[in-house]
Amino acid sequence: MVITTRHALADGREILYFDETPVTRVATDRRDLPHTTTASETRFDPLLGEWVVFASHRQTRTFLPPADLCPLCPSTPERATEIPESDYQVAVFENRFPSLSTTVTKVDATVEGSPLTPLREGFGRCEVVCFTSDHDSSFARLDPARARLVLDVWAHRSAELAEIDGVAQVFCFENHGEEIGVTLSHPHGQIYAYPFVTPRVAKISENLARHRKAHGGNLFEDLLTTERASGRRVVAANAEWTAFVPPFARWPYEVQLYPHRRVADIPDLDDAQREGFAALYLDVQRRFAHRFDTPMPYIAAWNQAPTVRSGAPRAEWWLHLQLFSIRRAAGKLKYLAGSESGMNVFISDTTPETVAAELREVTA
């Protein structure tokens, strides 16, 4: 059972606490904060058929503060942070510097001087998910119970955000490591509620339909079935989930985690699937952390179906998690240079079969 407590921060942003057992949460935000303003907008790229978000106000966001000034640590009598409580298990709050916001003024126009470029408001919601109050921890260091609680929080927030009129897709993710570009080192992730279906999900949906028409099956299911049968690229598995390096991996180190039974999104996961995920994900996380002398920087990205309100197809979607790193070798990073950044054609420095074998050999 997850206990949820809601409060408001000094500037009106919402904060939620999630606990495994009842805890009294009455601390108030004593800071004198100006009201959060958002100047986000989205512009449509007619060449690629994709929306681009502009959020210039984020230039002033907090950048790599020292540990004693971390805004995600619990508040103390001497210093108030984004978390008013003196301790917490998992906390979620609206981002102070959001890329998207539900309070933006509605716009339906084109960019000045460019009638081919539709312009819309930057509608949506951005939340910060703090996995633990321990500043020096990481997801890989969480115990199974806390990892399960974080998954339950992702499910809770995904379900609630999907009910907002105008939200088409909910994206839960974690950026880990300075090389990835994190601006706060405290263990945390983020959730974006987009007003459109993202390019990745839209493209996959098109290929799902194409595969169904050509072969009569679900592309996700066929991929999972063949990878489990082959085993060459499987890193770890349990009764509910399989983690494997995709045979077409773009990133030097990339693992995808699939539940054995199809669900469209995180809220759809049943209790057995949630327990199985927590165990397997911690296993894979620790393999990433110990593959080299220092933990790998990574991005963990949940691939959920578009929301019901979006009207986009959901029936074929198979929830999965991508975990990938830009580290290609000890002390070496993969930079997205000409081919990747210019043409979106990835050139890999590793092979999926070798990476899978290396990760299987890691002992945490």
Which segments are annotated as binding site for Zn(2+)? 70, 73, 135, 186
Instruction: Give how far Cα 178 sits from Cα of 10, 181, 188, 195, 264, Å.
Output: 30, 5, 13, 29, 32
The tokens of 84 are what? Answer: 């008013």
188 catalytic residue (yes or no): yes
Handedness of CA 167, 172, 177, 179 (dihedral sign): negative
Q: Whole-angstrom distance between the N-terminal and C-terminal Cα of the chain?
A: 30
- Residue whose structure tokens are 């009129």: 165
Distance (Å, rounded) from C-alpha 193 to C-alpha 237?
Answer: 30
Contact status, residue 95 vs residue 71, Cβ threshold 8 Å: no
Contact status, residue 306 vs residue 169, Cβ threshold 8 Å: yes
Of the residues 7, 188, 260, 320, only one is catalytic, namely 188
The tokens of 191 are what? Answer: 């959730």
Question: Which residues are catalytic, by number?
Answer: 188
